């Protein structure tokens, strides 16, 4: 493999270390990554993870790669970022397929156990009470969108920072907002579903993702387990308990398969509209204080 960067059985090719390839191509990688993953927060996290990793470790051989990954216990974000960087290098002919597969063989994402945290309606109501105590509409909008839509915080951030009221679609007691442009990679999303009255409250915000994340975490007990991720799980379980099918619940939460066909998509959308209309009043009752555990 003389004359090009890449992996040989025990080494990165004869000309460049992984560090050198990072220095040469990280700007192009950032641009490529921006068109592939969900949002700017993920891009930032991946870039920062690889920067830190390659500042601390000189990697020219497979052995050095394995030692470096072991030293960080195969941290998920770093390994995922590295695998994306390897794919970028391969697609652009900087390393070949054999080299890329060799790196992936040793840079495997460590399996993590599923988060078994399930919050209750009471915990959610207590968190809502703490949000309202700030008397800030931006916090309240963010929290209510998480509760009513069940979407990821990254998609809520996209909605609120690009909000255009002309895009809202009203269907009686419910409304939906198209978010197809926000979904990239494996994290697709179609609509944010919500009650009509919440849709009429929406306004565009300019706050960062990090700021929004702080608004929906670090709640005081008994709401300390409430955060964006556990709200999303709560919402999904709420839908299932109210007889929404798994497939329709997945569609509402933007978890549908990438390969969903156009005709099936249209059918799922109609079913989601109907299903959300049947549960929206019960969803509202949770924050209003009526028990539905």
Given this model, what pLDDT does residue 290 score? 60
Same domain, 214 and 151: yes
CA distance 73 to 43: 21
For residue 242, is it within any domain? yes
Q: What angle do CA 146, 151, 154 make, to 5 degrees?
A: 90
Count of the separate structural domains present in the chain: 2
Given this model, what pLDDT does residue 34 score? 86
Same domain, 171 and 196: yes
Of 56, 81, 106, at which residue does a domain stop? 106
Of 106, 140, 163, at which residue does a domain stop? 106
Q: What angle do CA 275, 279, 285 make, to 5 degrees?
A: 170
For residue 10, is it within any domain? no
Given this model, what pLDDT does residue 109 score? 85
For residue 203, is it within any domain? yes
For residue 164, is it within any domain? yes
Given this model, what pLDDT does residue 2 score? 37
For residue 231, is it within any domain? yes
Of 74, 106, 138, at which residue does a domain stop? 106
Query: What is the model's pTM?
Result: 0.68
DSSP string, 49-75: HHHHHHHH----BHHHHHHHHHHTTT-
Strands 169-171 and 191-195, by their bridges, are: unpaired
Same domain, 57 and 154: no
For 240, which DSSP code?
H
Same domain, 45 and 171: no
Same domain, 127 and 269: yes
Given this model, what pLDDT does residue 182 score? 75
For residue 112, is it within any domain? no
Instruction: Return the CATH number at 159.
Output: 1.10.443.10
Contact predicate 92/26, CB 8 Å: no
Same domain, 126 and 89: no
Range of the domain at 183: 121-288
Given this model, what pLDDT does residue 14 score? 43
Same domain, 170 and 47: no
pLDDT by residue for the chain (293 residues), tens digit each?
334 444 444 555 546 899 999 999 999 999 999 887 656 778 888 999 999 999 999 998 888 999 999 999 999 889 999 999 999 999 999 998 888 998 999 998 877 655 678 999 999 999 999 999 999 999 999 999 999 999 999 999 999 999 999 999 999 999 999 998 776 555 568 999 999 999 999 999 999 998 999 999 999 999 999 999 999 999 999 999 999 999 999 999 988 655 556 667 788 999 999 999 999 999 999 998 765 55
For residue 293, is it within any domain? no
Same domain, 99 and 203: no
């Amino acid at each position: 493999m003389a004359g090009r960067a890449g992996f040989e059985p025990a080494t990165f090719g004869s000309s460049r270390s992984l560090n050198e390839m990072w220095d040469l191509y990280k700007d192009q990688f950032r641009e490529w990554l921006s068109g592939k993953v969900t949002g700017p927060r993920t891009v930032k996290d991946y870039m920062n993870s690889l920067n830190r990793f390659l500042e601390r470790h000189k990697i020219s051989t497979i052995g050095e790669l394995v030692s470096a990954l072991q030293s960080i216990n195969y941290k998920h974000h770093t390994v995922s970022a590295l695998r994306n960087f390897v794919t970028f290098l391969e697609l652009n002919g900087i390393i070949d397929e054999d080299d890329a597969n060799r790196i992936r063989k040793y840079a495997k994402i460590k399996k993590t156990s599923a988060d078994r945290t399930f919050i209750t309606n009471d915990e959610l109501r207590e968190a809502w009470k703490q949000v309202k105590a700030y008397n800030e509409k931006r916090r309240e909008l963010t929290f209510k969108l998480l509760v009513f839509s069940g979407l990821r915080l990254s998609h809520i951030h996209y909605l609120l920072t690009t909000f255009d009221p002309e895009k809202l679609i009203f269907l009686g007691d419910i409304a939906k907002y198209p978010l197809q442009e926000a979904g990239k990679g494996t994290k697709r999303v179609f609509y944010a579903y919500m009650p009509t009255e919440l849709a009429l409250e929406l306004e565009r915000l300019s706050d960062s993702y990090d700021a929004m994340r702080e608004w929906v975490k670090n709640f005081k007990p008994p709401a300390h387990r409430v955060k964006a991720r556990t709200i999303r799980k709560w919402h999904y379980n709420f839908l299932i308990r109210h007889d929404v099918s798994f497939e329709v619940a997945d569609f509402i939460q933007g978890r549908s398969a990438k390969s969903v066909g156009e005709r099936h998509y249209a059918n799922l959308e109609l079913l989601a509209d109907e299903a959300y209309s049947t549960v929206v009043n019960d969803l509202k009752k949770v924050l209003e204080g009526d028990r539905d555990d």
